[in-house]
Structure 1
């Protein structure tokens, strides 16, 4: 099943600055070859259900390896059976209406 997910992975107990940890997760997504788009409060990821879940799990693993004793994720997932719609198409549709 194809999904578009909105993911916010937060290391807890890893210090005040999180940007290097977020960059490490972005590298995990990049290495997986999935389409993604970083935004101010998380990342949108597009792929199969299994691929997206595997990437989120790997982000948790990487953050624990980097010293975070706890990792919290907030995940929203969209699926559709009536049509295929990519991450870019979902964004473009809204931007055309406001532009």
Structure 2
């Protein structure tokens, strides 16, 4: 399964948002699961229970810094498929023009 999620503190001081989010990203990176982070979401790939455990732990570390937490989650549940964190993008790129004039 692929999960794209965003977790952020609500309430408290706004200057602490980046630090709290960094702590959540650290949880994901230390999980050992395939992942990537962009400006809006962190993506993580793995089995249902292991991915959800990482999301839960990431939310908990943010919750430790704020009275309230926002969690946005989108999942692509496709049993038996792995490596989709990169493979989905590679399939998309095959349909886009390249710099070679296509």
Aligned-residue CA RMSD (Å):
1.5
**Which of the pair has more CA radius of gyration?**
2
* 2:38 corresponding residue in structure 1: 39
* 1:22 corresponding residue in structure 2: 21
Kept after mapping to 1: 8 A contact 2:7/2:62: no
2: CA distance, partners of 1:64 / 1:5 = 20
* 2:59 corresponding residue in structure 1: 60
Regions of 4+ moved over 6 Å = none
What's the offset of the Cα at 1:68?
0.7
1:84 aligns with 2:81: yes
1: CA distance, partners of 2:19 / 2:92 = 31
Aligned with 2:81: secondary structure?
coil
Q: TM-score, normalised by structure 1?
A: 0.85
1:36/1:14 Cα in 2 relative to 1: closer, same or farther (>3 Å)?
A: farther
Q: What is the number of residues matched between the two proteins?
A: 95
The gaps in structure 1 that reach 5 residues or longer are: none
2: CA distance, partners of 1:14 / 1:53 = 26
What's the offset of the Cα at 1:16?
1.9
2: CA distance, partners of 1:62 / 1:41 = 18
What's the offset of the Cα at 1:27?
0.7
